C-alpha cells in the first residue's frame, strides 16, 4: 500500500515537472525532471535486463526482453495470452520471481562433467510455470547455451492429423507435421550453432539420400524440413547428436533441454491407430526420443521441465502435484529431480503487477484505482497470475 | 305411518323435502307397505344437533333464521393458544407424551418452514402443512428419555465393577456384536431389518504375524478401517439374527485361519501387489546409485563395494527416507520440500 502511495506522489511530481518542461522551464527544473523521471519506474520495473545479473533485490520487478530475443528465442515458447499482451503493450516484460532465480542460480553453478540435473516446475493452474520456464530459457540463451525447447509436449500426443508408421522401426509411429514445425522453430532459435556442430554418424534416409558423417547440424535440420516424411527421424537424430556431444571436452556448447508439459511423455494419448486401438506414447518416435533425452545419462547441461495440466488428456482438472501428473512410471524415470514450486503471487508481486497494469493503462475504470478496487481484484483472482490478467482486462 | 329404517337413503315422502339437504344419517322414511306399526316411532337419532321439532316445519326460512340466531348465540370465541398459557418450567413430557403430529398452538417455538416468499421469510407455523407432514421428535426430549431410563432401570442388572475402563473391556471382550431390534404397532411384530448383525474386532487383538496381517487385509478389503484398526463384518444374508451371528463368527474364524496359511502362488507377489513402498531394490535406488557412480563420488572401486559404501552415506539415507515418505504418505508441500532438500544434498547442489 505504501508503495502505491509513493508511486502516486512521484507520478504527480513527474506530471508537474513535465508540464513545466513543456512550457520552457529553467535549467533547474529540467534537472529535477531528469532526476525524478526514472524513479517511478523503478518500483515495479528494473533496468537489469540480463537474467544472469538479477538477484533477490529484483524480486517482483519487471524486466524487459529485447524484441530481437523474443523473435529468436521464443518463436513457439510463450503462452498464447502473453503473446497477445506483448502485442498490445508493444513490449515484452517479465516478472522476476523466486522460483526462476533459484533454478538460474543452480544453473550458473552447473558442473560440465556431472550428469545433467533435472528441474521440475509445478504449481496450481495459471501460477506462472510456463513463464518461469521462459525466463530460465532466456537466461540460458543469453549465456550462449544451445536451447532445445519443446513448447508443449501435449501437442505431440493429441490431435495428430497424419500418423505414419516409422521407416526406422516398424513398431513406432511418425508424426511428420509436428516434427517439421518443431525443426523450423529449432532452426530459428539456434542459428549460430547449426554451422558449428558436426554429426558423428552417418544417417541413411532412403536408398538415395543420406547425411554423411561430419556434416553440419544445419544440413541435418534442413533435410528434415525439406523431406517431411523423414522429419521425425531427423528430430531423433538431432537429439541423439546433441546428447552425445554435449559435455564432451571438444565441444564448447552446453545443452539446455526445456520441456513444457513433461507429463505428456508418460501419460496417455488420444491418437488412435487404424484399428481404433489407442497409441501408447512410447510408440511415437518423437516421444520415444524425447524420453531418452530426459534421462540424466548425459553431461554438460541441464534439463528444465514444467508440469502442465492445461493441455493434458485424461487428467483431473484440479491435479497439480508431480506424482499425480507424472504417474508412477514418469516419477521413476525423472527421479531424482528437483521439484520447484511456483506459487501464486505474493503481496509484493501482486502490487508490482497491479502497478504495471496501471502504468500500461490496462486497468481502465477509475474504480480499479481505489483501495476497494484493488481489494476486489485480490478477492476475485486470489492472486493467481493468469486469473488476474484475465480479470484486469475487464476492470 | 311410516317405519323407521336403518338406511340413510334419500327419502320419498314429500313432507321430508325440507330435510333432504340437512340430514346426514337421518332415518329415511320409506313407505313400506306391509310392515307392522308395532315399533315405536323413534325420531331422528344421528342428525346434527338440531331439535326434533324442526321436522314439523314446512318452510325453510324461519328455520334458517333460527339457525342464524342459534349460531350467533352459541358461538364461542377461540381462546388464547396453549403456548401463551404454558408456564416456562412446565413438564414438557406431559405436553408431548407420545409421538404426535405438530400442533402449532401447543409448541411455544417460533418455527418457520417452507419456501420463502420473495424478499421475505418462510411461512409461519400456524396452519403450516409442511411442519405437520414431517416427523418430529418432541416426545423424545432428554427429560422424556430420562423418564424412560428410570422406567427401565428395574429391569436392568448392574455393570460389572471390574470393567471400569474401555481398555479393560477391549482386553476381555475384544469382539463386539451390534444388533438392532424394532418395536412398532402394526399388523405384524416382525421386522426384517432386525436380522442384521455387525461384528467388530480390533486386529491388534488377533494373533497375526506380518505376512498373516497383510493377507488378512487383502482378504477383507473395505471392511477394515485403517484409522481405528477395526475390522467390521456385517452379516445379513440369513433370515434370522441368530443365524447371521453364527455366520459372522464363522467368517471371522475362517479369515483368521486362512490368513495364516501360505500358498505356493504367494511367492509370485510382484511390486504392484505390495501394500507399501520399500526403497530397497526399487528403481529409485538404481537411479540414485547410477547417478552417484557417474558423478564419481565414491572414488575408484568395484561394483558391489561401491554400492555398499554409497548406500551407507547419510545423504543417501535421507534421500531414501524422503522417497519412501513421498510414496507412502502421498504428496503434499512438506513431503515435496523434504524430497527437494534431500535431492539437493545428494547431488551436491
Grade residue A33 by pLDDT with cuts at 50, 70 and 90.
Answer: very low
pLDDT for A37-92, tens place per residue?
A: 444 556 888 888 888 888 888 888 999 999 999 999 999 889 999 999 999 999 99
Grade residue A23 by pLDDT with cuts at 50, 70 and 90.
Answer: very low
A336 and B333 in contact by Cβ < 8 A? no
Nearest-CA distance B331 → chain A (Å): 7
pTM for the whole structure: 0.70
Question: What's the CA gap between A212 and A250, in Å, rounded?
Answer: 20
pLDDT for A316-374, tens place per residue?
A: 999 999 988 998 889 988 888 999 999 999 999 999 999 999 989 998 889 988 999 99
Helix, strand, or coil (residue B86):
coil
B331 and A321 in contact by Cβ < 8 A? yes
pLDDT for A245-302, tens place per residue?
A: 887 888 888 899 999 999 999 989 998 888 889 889 999 999 999 999 898 888 888 9
Q: Which of A39, A51, A181, A141 is nearest to A103 (CA)?
A: A51
- Long-range interactions of B246-253: CB distance < 8 A, separation 24+: B248/B177, B248/B197, B248/B199, B249/B199, B251/B199, B252/B175, B252/B199, B252/B201
Nearest-CA distance B259 → chain A (Å): 30
Nearest-CA distance B340 → chain A (Å): 5
In chain B, whose CA is at the least distance from the CA of A343? B333
Q: Which residues of B320-332 are buried (b: 16+ CB within 10 A; e: fewer)?
A: bebbbbbbeeebe
Q: What is the mean pLDDT of residues A136-163?
A: 91
Instruction: Give the Cα-Cα-Cα angle A169, A174, A179 (nearest 5 degrees).
Output: 130
SS (H, E, C) chain A: CHHHHHHHHHHHHHHHHHHHHHCCCCHHHHHHHHHHCHHHHCCCECCCCCHHHCCHHHCCCEEEECHHHHHHHCCCCCCHHHHHHHHHHCCEEEECCHHHHHHHHHHHCCCCCCECEEEEEECCCCCCHHHHHHHHHHHHHHCCCEEEEECCHHHHCCCCCCCEECCCCCCCEECHHHHHHHHHHHHHHCHHHHCCCECCCCEECCCCCEECCCCEHHHHHHHHHHCHHHHHHHHHHHHHHHHHHCCCCCCCCCEEEEEECHHHHHCCCCCECCCCCECCHHHEHHHHHHHHHHCCCCECEEEEEECCCCCCCCCCCCCCCHHHHHHHHHHHHHCCCEEEECCCCCHHHHHHHHHHHHHCCCCCCHHHHCHHHHHHHHHHHCCCHHHHHHHHCCC
The distance between the two most distant Cα atoms of chain B, rounded to a whole number of Å, is 136
Q: What is the pLDDT of residue B4?
A: 46
- Long-range interactions of B207-213: CB distance < 8 A, separation 24+: B208/B256, B208/B259, B208/B260, B211/B262, B212/B259, B212/B260, B213/B259
In chain B, whose CA is at the least distance from the CA of A342? B333
B291 and A296 in contact by Cβ < 8 A? yes
A117 and B331 in contact by Cβ < 8 A? no
Residues of B in contact with A106 (CB under 8 A): 349
Work out the mean pLDDT of chain A and round it to a whole number. Answer: 85
pLDDT of B60 strictly over 90: no
Q: What is the pLDDT of residue A125?
A: 92
Q: What is the mean pLDDT of residues A16-27?
A: 45
Q: Where are the alpha helices (DSSP H) in B86-209?
A: 92-95, 129-133, 142-152, 166-172
Which residue is listed with cell 485480490?
A378
pLDDT of B10 strictly over 60: no
Q: What is the mean pLDDT of residues B274-288?
A: 81
Residues of A in contact with B319 (CB under 8 A): 336
Residues of A in contact with B321 (CB under 8 A): none
B295 and A332 in contact by Cβ < 8 A? no
pLDDT for A201-239, tens place per residue?
A: 888 888 788 888 888 889 889 988 998 888 999 999 999
* Residue A268 burial (10 A CB sphere; 0-12, 13-18, 19+): middle
Q: What is the pLDDT of residue B225?
A: 94
Question: What's the CA gap between A344 and A362, in Å, rounded?
Answer: 21
A341 and B333 in contact by Cβ < 8 A? yes
Question: What's the CA gap between A65 and A93, in Å, rounded?
Answer: 6
Q: What is the mean pLDDT of residues A185-194?
A: 90
In chain A, whose CA is at the least distance from the CA of B322? A336
Question: What's the CA gap between B159 and A140, in Å, rounded?
Answer: 78
Instruction: State the ipTM, two decimals.
Output: 0.81
Q: What is the count of residue pairs from A and B with beta carbons less than 8 Å apart?
A: 52
Amino acid at each position: 500500500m505504501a508503495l502505491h502511495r509513493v508511486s502516486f506522489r512521484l507520478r504527480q511530481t513527474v506530471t508537474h515537472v513535465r508540464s513545466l518542461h513543456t512550457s520552457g522551464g529553467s535549467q533547474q527544473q529540467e534537472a529535477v525532471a531528469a532526476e525524478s523521471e526514472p524513479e517511478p519506474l523503478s518500483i515495479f520495473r528494473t533496468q537489469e535486463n540480463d537474467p544472469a545479473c538479477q538477484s533477490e533485490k529484483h524480486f517482483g520487478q519487471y524486466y524487459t526482453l529485447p524484441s530481437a530475443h523474443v523473435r529468436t528465442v521464443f518463436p513457439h515458447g510463450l503462452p498464447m495470452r502473453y503473446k497477445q499482451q506483448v502485442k498490445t503493450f508493444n513490449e515484452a516484460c517479465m516478472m522476476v520471481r523466486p522460483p526462476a532465480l533459484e533454478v538460474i542460480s543452480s544453473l550458473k553453478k552447473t558442473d560440465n562433467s556431472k550428469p545433467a540435473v533435472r528441474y521440475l516446475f509445478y504449481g496450481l493452474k495459471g501460477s506462472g510455470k510456463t513463464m518461469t520456464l521462459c525466463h530460465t530459457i532466456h537466461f540460458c540463451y543469453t549465456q550462449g547455451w544451445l536451447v532445445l525447447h519443446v513448447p508443449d509436449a501435449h501437442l505431440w500426443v493429441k490431435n495428430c492429423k497424419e500418423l505414419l508408421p516409422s521407416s526406422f522401426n516398424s513398431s513406432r509411429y511418425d508424426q511428420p507435421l509436428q516434427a517439421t514445425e518443431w525443426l523450423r522453430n529449432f532452426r530459428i532459435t539456434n542459428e549460430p550453432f547449426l554451422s558449428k556442430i558436426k554429426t558423428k554418424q552417418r544417417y541413411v534416409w532412403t536408398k538415395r539420400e543420406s547425411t554423411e558423417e561430419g556434416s553440419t547440424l544445419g544440413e541435418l535440420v534442413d533435410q528434415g524440413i525439406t523431406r517431411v516424411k523423414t522429419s521425425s527421424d531427423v528430430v531423433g537424430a538431432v537429439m541423439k547428436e546433441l546428447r552425445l556431444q554435449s559435455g564432451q571436452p571438444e565441444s564448447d556448447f552446453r545443452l539446455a533441454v526445456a520441456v513444457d508439459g513433461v507429463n505428456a511423455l508418460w501419460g496417455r494419448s488420444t491418437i488412435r491407430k487404424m484399428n481404433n486401438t489407442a497409441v501408447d506414447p512410447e510408440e511415437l518416435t518423437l516421444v520415444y526420443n524425447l524420453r531418452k533425452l530426459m534421462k540424466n545419462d548425459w553431461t554438460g547441461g541441464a534439463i528444465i521441465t514444467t508440469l502442465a495440466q492445461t493441455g493434458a488428456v485424461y487428467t483431473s482438472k484440479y491435479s497439480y502435484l508431480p506424482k499425480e501428473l507424472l504417474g508412477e512410471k514418469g516419477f521413476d524415470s525423472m527421479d531424482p529431480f528437483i521439484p520447484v514450486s511456483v506459487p501464486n503471487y505474493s503481496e509484493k508481486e501482486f502490487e508490482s503487477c497491479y502497478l504495471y497494469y496501471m502504468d500500461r493503462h490496462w486497468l481502465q475504470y477509475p474504480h480499479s484505482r481505489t483501495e476497494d478496487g484493488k481489494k476486489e481484484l485480490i478477492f476475485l483472482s486470489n492472486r493467481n497470475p493468469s486469473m488476474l490478467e484475465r480479470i484486469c482486462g475487464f476492470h | 305411518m311410516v317405519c323407521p329404517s336403518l338406511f340413510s337413503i334419500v327419502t320419498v315422502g314429500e313432507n321430508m323435502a325440507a330435510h333432504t339437504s340437512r340430514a346426514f344419517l337421518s332415518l329415511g322414511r320409506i313407505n313400506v307397505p306391509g310392515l307392522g306399526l308395532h315399533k315405536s316411532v323413534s325420531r331422528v337419532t344421528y342428525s346434527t344437533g338440531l331439535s326434533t321439532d324442526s321436522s314439523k316445519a314446512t318452510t325453510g326460512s324461519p328455520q334458517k333464521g333460527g339457525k342464524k340466531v342459534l349460531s350467533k348465540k352459541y358461538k364461542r370465541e377461540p381462546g388464547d393458544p396453549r403456548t401463551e398459557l404454558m408456564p416456562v418450567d412446565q413438564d414438557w413430557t406431559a405436553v408431548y407424551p407420545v409421538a404426535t403430529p405438530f400442533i402449532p398452538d401447543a409448541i411455544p417455538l417460533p418455527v418457520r418452514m417452507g419456501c420463502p416468499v420473495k424478499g421475505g421469510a418462510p411461512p409461519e407455523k400456524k396452519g403450516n402443512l409442511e411442519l405437520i407432514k414431517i416427523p418430529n421428535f418432541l416426545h423424545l426430549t432428554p427429560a422424556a428419555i430420562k423418564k424412560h431410563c428410570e422406567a427401565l432401570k428395574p429391569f436392568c442388572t448392574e455393570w460389572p465393577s471390574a470393567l471400569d475402563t474401555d481398555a479393560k473391556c477391549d482386553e476381555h471382550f475384544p469382539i463386539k456384536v451390534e444388533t438392532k431390534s424394532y418395536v412398532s404397532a402394526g399388523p405384524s411384530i416382525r421386522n426384517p431389518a432386525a436380522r442384521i448383525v455387525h461384528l467388530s474386532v480390533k486386529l491388534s487383538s488377533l494373533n497375526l504375524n506380518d505376512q498373516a496381517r497383510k493377507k488378512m487385509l487383502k482378504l477383507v478389503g473395505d471392511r477394515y478401517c485403517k484409522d481405528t484398526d477395526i475390522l467390521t463384518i456385517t452379516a445379513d444374508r440369513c433370515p434370522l439374527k441368530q443365524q447371521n451371528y453364527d455366520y459372522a463368527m464363522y467368517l471371522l474364524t475362517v479369515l483368521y485361519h486362512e490368513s495364516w496359511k501360505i500358498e505356493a502362488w504367494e511367492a509370485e507377489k510382484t511390486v504392484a501387489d505390495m501394500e507399501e513402498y520399500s526403497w530397497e531394490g526399487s528403481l529409485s535406488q538404481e537411479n540414485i546409485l547410477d547417478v552417484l557412480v557417474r558423478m564419481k563420488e565414491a572414488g575408484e572401486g568395484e561394483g558391489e563395494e561401491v554400492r555398499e559404501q554409497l548406500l551407507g552415506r547419510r545423504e543417501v539415507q535421507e534421500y531414501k527416507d524422503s522417497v519412501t515418505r513421498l510414496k507412502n504418505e502421498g504428496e503434499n508441500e512438506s513431503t515435496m520440500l523434504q524430497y527437494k532438500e534431500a535431492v539437493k544434498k545428494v547431488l551436491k547442489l
